[in-house]
Every structure is written in structure tokens, then in C-alpha cells.
Amino acid sequence: MTPYNGAAITGLAKYITNNNDYGGSAGALNTHIRNLIDTIRDVSYRRYGPEFWVAQITMGSGTAVGPASVDGLTGYYCLFGALAVQAPAMTFHAYLRALDQAILIKLYPGQTASVNGTIHDETFAIAPADDWVSVTIFHELNPRSNFGYNPPPIGIYAQASGDKFLLACPALMGGITPIDDNIGVVAGYNSWPG
């Protein structure tokens, strides 16, 4: 993930396996992380699991690159998936939570999104009242008629300098892959020892 326009990324806190919140002894969960786990895991499966960090992104003061607009809101480029060689079809998944004001997720040509199971084909907003949102972006490109590294698999826009949002469990996969909104950490081929 690449910050833009002066945005800053910090580690908010991590999900702790055997956490105190659900009967363990390894440490208490941050409130936002507990809320995410409560959203995606049944009660009996919240104490243990793969550990992961949640990133907090704070918008900078820059306004470079054309703004994104939807529903009367205007946002400026804040965070995007790194520009790298792209497969003709990719799937990006993450959990997002707006903290101060709504953030905007810009969809580029060839992209559609599943947002908590609802399909979008144009730019959409995530408001603080939405709590944690499961976002899956399906990205299909014709290799003959694109640059092969741009547009990024996700583009997030924030409205004002200092606005904060959270990002958890980002994953980029080759191909178009249906993702369960409750997946949490997405396992990669390098997750298993050889």
C-alpha cells in the first residue's frame, strides 16, 4: 500500500491470539480490533486465530491528482495499492473503517466491488456509521489496452487533512476470487511450510 498527498500510516494495534477479551491471558484487544473480530467471527472462535496488525491511515494536506466525488462528497487521493506488474484479472480484499468522515473508494474502468455483499460498479463512500466494512474489488484488464501496472487495485480518497481511517487484512490475489466477508486473514501460498 502506498500513501499519497502526505498521508501517514501507523500501526494501531494487533489482534492477539489467546486474548484476554475472550478468556485468554495474552493481552487485551484494542476496541476497534475487538469490534472487527465481533463482526467476522462467531463467539466460540474469537479467542484464537492468526495474529495481524491494523493500520491507521491519516490524510495529509495534499490535493494532487483529480479528486473523487460521490453523493456530494469530495475526497483526495490518500492511499492506493502499489503500482506493480498486474495480472489481467486480480481480486483485492480488505476491511475498512472510516473514523472521522466518510472515505471514498474510487473504482476504475474494469473494476467492480462487493461491499458487505452488495455489488458496486462506481465510486462509493464508507461512512463512520458503517463501522467495519468488507471490501472486495474485482479487477479485470485487457492486457492489450492498458499499461500493465495502472490503475491500482484499490484507490482510497479522504476528505480533509487529518481524517483517519483503519485498514485490516489487505490481500491481493491473482484471478477473480469470490471472498467471504468473514474471511479475516487471507492465506497465501507462502503461508504453509514446504
Look-up: residue for cell 476491511?
95
The predicted pLDDT at position 189 comes to 63
Q: Which domain holds residue 47?
A: 2-175
Burial of 185 from C-beta contacts in 10 A (0-12 / 13-18 / 19+): middle
DSSP SS3 for 44: helix
Does 189 reside within a domain? no
pLDDT in tens, 141-188: 877 666 665 677 889 999 999 999 999 999 988 889 888 898 888 877
pLDDT in tens, 79-109: 988 777 777 889 999 999 999 999 999 998 8
State the total domains in the chain.
1
Does 110 reside within a domain? yes
Burial of 72 from C-beta contacts in 10 A (0-12 / 13-18 / 19+): exposed
Backbone Cα Rg of the chain: 17
Does 190 reside within a domain? no
The predicted pLDDT at position 57 comes to 97
Does 192 reside within a domain? no
What are the residue ranges of helices labelled H in the chain?
A: 31-40
Predicted confidence band at 194 (pLDDT cuts at 50, 70, 90)? Answer: low
The predicted pLDDT at position 133 comes to 97
The rounded mean pLDDT for the chain is 90
pTM score > 0.85 for this model? yes
**Residue 128 pLDDT > 80, yes or no?**
yes
Burial of 191 from C-beta contacts in 10 A (0-12 / 13-18 / 19+): exposed
CA–CA dist 78, 155 (Å, integer): 8
Does 191 reside within a domain? no
